[in-house]
Structure 1
């Protein structure tokens, strides 16, 4: 924090000039080229494009070229010649430089670094804080909320320079935006022109296809053509019905007349079939009738010809009637046989029947032909309707595109799709921006604190040593019987924890071990003290437990079988002897040292002798403790198993639990020995709170509050007392050892 404070003492003052632009967007659907009002995401895209345009290399290039041109034209002199070796000599030719700058600005192009003169100009700009990086770092652009306003700001050491650069930037942005908008409008206009031409060609092509199809199928007016076909079919059906009725009536009349003559036994008075003139007239009548029937259904036959033939047919019928009358007149008159009227009717009926017989097949054939044509015409009608729809759609598309083309031309002639207006001109800041010195100091302090805490947490997380009972319980094969505190802990050396407190904790843990051993069956009280390493403290712990049991009146014998430990002269129990011979006669509590020779138990005595000796010792002692060499360096413990019924495994804290430790525990467990429990030895006193509870310790108010936060004890967190009652010990801060002893005794 002090370093940051000193480093920020000479920070230069910063001035910020701001300007505001407004963009007017198309809000009318009728005037939109896309036939829709702009959506919010499209408006956001416009603003993003505006911001990116302001930061583009092209815009920044125009800004710095304009600034350099103004400098050479003495419009604004904020640049100062430094001492660049090459550029200063070259730029003294201001006329040439201004000519190059004018050309680049007018053509809206950037410096070409392939040219030597352009490289010198670029170098000169970079040397005078007009590089791309410098301008972009000082430029800030943002949209104001959800409005149509954009704020531009520029930061500089000089207030006038800040306002000047802000003005150049927004002027360049407006110019670039209008050019891009014009270019986009030109592109839209050209695109719509191509689309209109293509749509016009499409309309003409589809219309020509429709007309050709109508001509090819002899259909000019579809509605009238359909109506004519229907009328023709109806007329033919009526005519056919009339002819069939006429044919049937004539046939019945002829049969009736002939029946009348035949019933009287008299023949007909005349024989019409024998008269050649009548026959000729009838044939001529049939021929004309045939022509009328054939030409009636031809579109090219004039109606006048058809009418003339029908008049000729009427004349022939009259002539036939006249000839029949002459025949009847020439026949001798006989009142019984004279039936002239019936003969005349017979001739008329015969003519009608014959003409009907010839007309009916022709009309039926014509009806079939028209019906077949109508069936073919149905598909033509569907095709023509589809083609008419296509022509209509093409015409509508053409009209829409034509309207868009006119609108695009209007937009191109105007200001483009969006009109940019300068609302707030660049302002000259009256005072510099407030410094961030205090904030930097605070942030640096917090940063240092966070780093320290992170390092402490990281060390704690990465630390794989067995520093607490919780960690030992996770790796131990056996249950934890007790935890022995380290009397040389840092907190004890610094006086934060009273030594008497440590001694009291140790005594309580030894009592726990003692109680577990006393609870063993009377015939299984030969205890084997095991450990994996030499520094685990098995000899010291076994002798302390033995001394505690001796105080209670128990007779305890310790067989010290670890030849690697050497001699220990400060044991809390007396030494009974140094050889196996002492085992035959000893009866006092103490230690028998079997460490003078590196021999194993069975090398000292036979197995049977050991079993007999230990059986005799159990008669003289209540408990027999056997201390063996560490499992990492000796296998003597396997021979001691034959004379032991229980075991206690000791592990020293503050070291890493290795593979050898796991193998040692597994070997002891698989041996079948009754393990009373494991003891974690030499643990730091502070690490025992999670095992035995609160430990009285001198703590500052801050440390006390932090501890309450860690354990989530928020009651009375603001009180000034340093710590609470210890429960088991009843200790408070500041008491001396004598007062502590008295309270403990009570």
Structure 2
């Protein structure tokens, strides 16, 4: 459907679109007259799921998915029945407290109680509140508590309807709202809910995590005792064995190696001093006389020893300190022997006396004794170290085993402490709920929803009206308008006739009155347009037909004949609709001797013998004009039929030169109008087409196109140029303005 057409349809039915919302708004106004003001109080709870400012032992990274899951779990817990019950307990205790001004008072006609019952219920509710117990149907006090909750309007369904719990988007806060008719009640309800839920949530967390924390604490204490036992064992072993550190044997071994190196040096010095004293003694003996000593053999032996020892030292990698020390001693002795050999046969240097040599000898002897003393001390230390080193290997092995046990116990204790600390941290982190915004009694009520309800009622009813109108328009399969006719049928339109009241139809009155109704004036205008289209067609004989019965062929032909007569056109109407002779009945009224086209029908049904000869004799003398009947309308004539026949036009007109009749009559009239029966049901139209110049199809705007209609439409299209167009009859005047 075209949007412009749809808009015009809506505009045409705007009275419905306006009146229905007004009625709905007025009804909503009456229904909401008793509405009271509503006060909403708000509180906020920080969860700590996305931002936690508490001190934590371990650093946990933020996870958005985990936070969403936590929020979902928390919201479900807050909306649970127990949370609602705890708030109801608090509100009921407030109203039952004689020191407080109750927010609600039960209706005395529906709720009667005694002070004793009130005290009894207060005790029951207080115990349930302290123990965080829900109101279960299995409880013995269920009926009594529920009676008071319903009487004071604090039942589960009532408070749940007034309580709103939502997460503030993109924040760490949950907002809790409560609406009631009193500001103090709203504030008390919100704060009571937050306090009781946080207490309930704390008890759940403590119950779930308390056992695990205690277990981990006990485990850490056990590991600490085991570690202390291992440390005490290690301390006692070190005291008894003299080994205070792991690797102490290797330290002593390195000390022993150093002492042995010092001993070798001292021995080298002692040997050097011995040779020095020997040389001085020889010098003293040689004073005043040359001393000839042959040391060549000794020098050769020393050189051989030096060569062999040097070769062994190099072959061993030049790392043996003892070989190096021995090699140095042999080289020093070789040097002395060579010096002695060079002095043989020579006198002492000038300036040296025996006394001088004796002093040098004395100094050498003293130094010799010192070196011997050092050697004895070094040997003593070496013996002590060798003794201690020999027994420390097994002690160090035992100490190493004890140290491993200490390390293992230390690791187990550290791990136990880490688990204990993590559990305590999680327990502390789980208790992050806190009320960051307390509810206060609102100063003014919320904007009344009464006008919102009224506006919503009007808007909704308007939308429903528009929806129904559009739906009916879309579901309506009738032709209705010329535009829909062109889209649905596709035949050219020769004219459009609007619907008029045909019960007291008088066409003369319609055309004689000067200022008729809008429908009458529109009818005359459309009929004249149709007359113009007929005049513009090249033809004088027009066959009017329709796909269905009662589409208005008779009315269209008569109206067209009348408007043609107004311009002095002679019009002959031949009623060839033998199934329904409405034209004959209308125009031949009060004519008892109406001449009909099938008047000789009985004579034509003679016996077959001599039948054809009889017909020819009768029609030769028959005058074509004898069939014409005048009407009460000027320039309009009719050739009627008796109606009610079951034969087709071809059967009725068989033997008559109907084509010649039409030709003769057309010469005497400006227009000859024929009517054919409904094309969907009868073949009359197809039998009469050959006698007409143009075929005009009449469609009713009230009709919907069916399969038989499509076959008839296809036949009209097959006529080609002989088809003079279609007439859309009974179009509503309002649809013509769409």
Q: Please give the TM-score of this superposition, normalised by the length of structure 2.
A: 0.56
Which residue of the partner structure matches residue 571 of structure 1?
A: 587
The answer to whether the 8 A contact 1:17-1:166 is kept is no
Matched, 1:481 2:459: no
Write the distance in 1 (CA, Å) between the matches of 2:141 and 2:325.
Answer: 104
Match of 1:16 among 16, 19, 39: 39
CA distance change for structure 1 residues 314 and 30 in 2, over 3 Å: closer, same or farther? farther
- 1:712 maps to which residue? none
Using CA pairs below 8 Å that are at least 6 residues apart, which structure has the higher relative contact order? 2
Give the direction of change, closer, same or farther, for the CA distance of 1:150–1:115 in structure 2 (3 Å limit): closer
Q: Unpaired runs of 5+ in structure 2?
A: 1-24, 222-246, 248-297, 341-410, 506-513, 599-618, 631-635
SS of the residue 1:577 aligns to = coil
Give the secondary structure class of the aligned counterpart of 1:579.
coil
Whole-angstrom CA distance in 2 between matches of 1:108 and 1:501 = 81
Provide, for residues 88-110 of structure 1, a one-character-per-residue CA deviation record: whole Å limited to 9, x for no partner. 89994956x66665554344343
Aligned mates of 2:530, 2:623 — CA distance in 1? 26
Partner-residue secondary structure (3-state), 1:478: coil
Kindly indicate whether residue 603 of structure 2 is the aligned counterpart of residue 590 of structure 1: no
Match of 1:629 among 656, 659, 677: 677
Mapped partners of 1:574, 1:2: distance in 2: 60
Deviations 1:598-654 (A, max 9, x none): 432322334783334434444444433221111122112121122223211001122
Which residue pairs with 1:135 in the alignment? 159
Q: Could you list the runs of 5+ residues in structure 1 that have no partner in the other structure?
A: 198-219, 221-276, 323-394, 691-746
More divergent stretch after superposition (129-138 vs 303-312):
303-312
Identify the match of residue 652 of structure 1 among 700, 711, 728.
700
Q: Matched residues in 1 for 2:501 and 2:335: separation?
A: 157
1:515 to 528, 532, 543: 532
Question: 2:306–2:327: 8 Å Cα contact kept in structure 1?
Answer: no
1:420 corresponds in structure 2 to 435
Pair 90,530 (structure 1): closer, same or farther in 2 beyond 3 Å: farther
Count residues in correspondence.
Answer: 523
Structure 1 residue 549: Cα displacement? 3.0
Match of 2:85 in 1: 61
Quote the offset at 1:664 in angstroms. Answer: 1.3
CA RMSD of aligned residues (A): 5.8
| C-alpha displacement of 1:681 | 0.8
Query: Which residue of structure 2 aligns with residue 526 of structure 1?
Result: 541
SS in 1 for 2:737: helix
Cα deviation, 1:265-291, whole Å, max 9, x if unaligned, reads: xxxxxxxxxxxx999999977764553
Q: Distance in 2 between matches of 1:165 and 1:413?
A: 28
Give the deviation of 1:141 after TM superposition.
5.4
Separation in 2, partners of 1:93, 1:24 = 38
Task: Determine if the alignment matches structure 1 residue 292 to structure 2 residue 316.
Answer: no
Q: Distance in 2 between matches of 1:675 and 1:109?
A: 91
Is 2:523 the counterpart of 1:506? yes
Aligned residue for 2:322? 304
Deviates more, 1:42-51 or 1:459-468: 42-51
CA distance in structure 1 between the aligned counterparts of 2:162 and 2:541, rounded to whole angstroms:
85
Residue of structure 1 in register with 2:710 after alignment: 662
Work out the CA distance in 1 between the residues paired with 2:562 and 2:94.
100
CA distance in 1 between partners of 2:665 and 2:216 (Å) = 117
The question of whether the paired residues in 2 share the 8 Å contact of 1:537 and 1:681 is answered with: yes
2:52·2:432 contact (CA, 8 Å) conserved in 1?
A: no
**Corresponding residue SS for 1:296:** coil
Whether 1:684 and 2:729 are equivalent positions in the alignment is: no
- In structure 2, how many angstroms separate the alpha carbons of the residues matched to 1:505 and 1:291? 144
Residues 124-179 of structure 1: per-residue CA shift (max 9 Å, x gap): 54564332221122234578999998765544456654454344224324535666
Change (3 A) 1:668 1:150: closer
Q: Deviations over 1:562-597 (max 9, x none)?
A: 122235443399998312667734688622123444
Equivalent pair of 1:517/1:525 in contact (CA under 8 Å): no
Asked if the contact 1:583/1:617 (under 8 Å) is kept, the reply is no
